[in-house]
């Protein structure tokens, strides 16, 4: 008696597609830094005052940075919103310090990191680099069907979506006018992202 002919296994005859990339978007804020990953968004709310003593401000920044880096985890690409150089008032020094603490942590963990300026983030979301927070939130709801409680979470989602698009794995196809927002960013070496 002869054995029946083996039926080819489709999994063996089909070439595998690209591995889904793990991308995180990070919106830096003293009051609500947000991180978007495949698992959803995490927001790290804190309170403080400009007149707080140095050790209090330091502890606050450390808490936010640790929380953000923990939420990012081990990813192939992190997209952090760049500093808003035109913003004055508030706690610009503390915001800048927080941005560097988080960025330094990403780079220390050898996570390929992209910097997306605020205008590029708005352009990617809406097609208009001058769009405000409410315009971005409305565009994200329309394009992705996603609703967020805060603009911090919404912005982190846009940063993640932009990173996925740049890497060739977009969440949805957006118009070329929106994709123009990818052009003004500082992207890491593509091979470093796909090789992780």
- Residue 10 confidence (pLDDT) above 50: no
With residue 115 as reference, give the H or E element that holds it.
strand 113-116
11-25, 49-63, 153-167: which is most confident: 153-167
Q: What pTM does this model have? A: 0.89
Write out pLDDT tens, residues 139-148.
999 999 999 9
Domain ranges of the chain: 20-194
With residue 121 as reference, give the H or E element that holds it.
helix 118-126
Write out pLDDT tens, residues 106-121.
999 999 999 999 999 9
Q: How many CA atoms lie within 13 A of 102 on its CB side?
A: 37
CA 54/CA 192 separation, integer angstroms: 38
pLDDT score of 194:
87
Write out pLDDT tens, residues 47-77.
988 888 999 999 999 999 999 999 999 999 9
Topology at the third CATH level for domain 20-194? Nucleotidyltransferase; domain 5 (3.30.420)
CA 192/CA 88 separation, integer angstroms: 35
């Amino acid at each position: 008696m002869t054995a029946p002919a083996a039926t080819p296994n489709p999994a063996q005859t089909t070439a595998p597609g690209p591995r889904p990339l793990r991308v995180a978007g990070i919106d830096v804020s003293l009051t609500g830094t947000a991180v978007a990953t495949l698992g959803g968004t995490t927001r790290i709310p804190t309170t403080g005052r400009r007149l707080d003593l140095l050790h209090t401000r330091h502890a606050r920044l450390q808490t936010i940075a640790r929380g953000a880096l923990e939420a990012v985890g081990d990813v192939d690409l992190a997209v952090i919103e760049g500093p808003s150089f035109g913003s004055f008032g508030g706690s610009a020094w503390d915001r800048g310090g927080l941005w560097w603490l988080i960025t330094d942590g990403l780079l220390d963990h050898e996570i390929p990191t992209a910097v997306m300026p605020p205008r590029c983030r708005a352009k990617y979301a809406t097609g208009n680099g001058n769009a405000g927070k409410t315009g971005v939130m409305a565009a994200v709801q329309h394009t992705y069907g996603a609703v967020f409680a805060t603009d911090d979470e919404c912005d982190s989602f846009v940063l993640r979506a932009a990173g996925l698009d740049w890497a060739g794995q977009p969440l949805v196809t957006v118009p070329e006018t929106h994709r123009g927002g990818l052009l003004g960013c500082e992207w890491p070496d593509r091979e470093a992202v796909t090789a992780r």
